[in-house]
Amino acid sequence: MSTVHAEWTKLRTVPSTGWLLLGTVAGMVVLTTMITASIDVSLCPSPTECFEDTTKLSLSGVHLGQLAVVLLAVLAVTNEYGTGLIHTTLTARPQRTRVLLAKSGVVTAVVLGTSAFGVIGSVLVGRIILPGNGFTVANGYPPLSLEDGPTLRAAIGTVLYCGLIALLATGVGLVVRDTAGAIATVLSLLYLFPILAQFINNPRWQLWIQKYAPMNAGLTIQSTIGVDLLPIAPWAGLGVLALWSTATLIAGALLFLTRDA
């Protein structure tokens, strides 16, 4: 527990931590507000023919919130290398496995707790804004509610998605050990595949990206309509992201355990 406490102390005393946690929540809520405010049933052939997934719309702010998560997780690792504090840490705590587990556990726990507030705020925003844009019961769109099974699954899944992104970024940080390089690597893993999909005409490769690219697969957890038509099932998609996160964390752990520092 002393190692966990030490990692928590280091994380909370970094000046950027509070701002990044606030940015996670604010980013999710603000982007959700902008997206839900821009969608209106008047743009559809008829109100009942919008076929919008209102739950997914209300959770779309994670695309912005996850940027703060990436920064937080990367800095939790690379700050120690940048300042040389890692040598002090390993001198005080020579059991590297314990340090690694404590660091990744603290970062993930903080991100899970923070993203839960972001998700709840996003759902509330969607519940408030969408009915005013025509997404009403009369038009076939029930109010957003966490008592609804698919909506609850999407909300919990989004929180877990953020936690897995934190683990992914932690693993990359351990591999790269440089803030700018680690951030660029994680963002490339998340956003490069969707960008490439826009320029690839081969349906087979497009399907591969939708099923196995970390962000594409992970965010299928937010879908609540047309689930049978998805290239990969929601929980399976989150599982793909979990494999990416596990792979990078294992790579980072192996290097952390074998390097001099």
Which of 1-10, 34-43, 149-158 is predicted with the least confidence, judged by mean pLDDT?
1-10
Q: For 226, left (φ over 0), alpha (ψ -120 to 50), or beta?
A: left
**Phi and psi angles of residue 199, each rounded to the nearest 5 degrees, phi first:** -110, 0
Using 50, 70 and 90 to split pLDDT, how confident is the model at 104? very high
Output phi, psi for 145, to 5 deg: -150, 135
How high is the pLDDT of residue 93? Answer: 78
pTM over 0.85: yes
Contact at 8 Å (CB) between 114 and 21? yes
Q: What pLDDT sits at residue 153?
A: 97
At residue 261, the pLDDT reads: 63
154 vs 90, residue with greater confidence: 154
Domain map (residue ranges) of the chain: 2-258
Statement: residue 43 has pLDDT above 80: no
* The pLDDT value given to residue 42: 82
Got the DSSP string for 58-119?
HTTTHHHHHHHHHHHHHHHHHHHHHHTHHHHHHHH---HHHHHHHHHHHHHHHHHHHHHHHH
| Res 120: pLDDT | 97
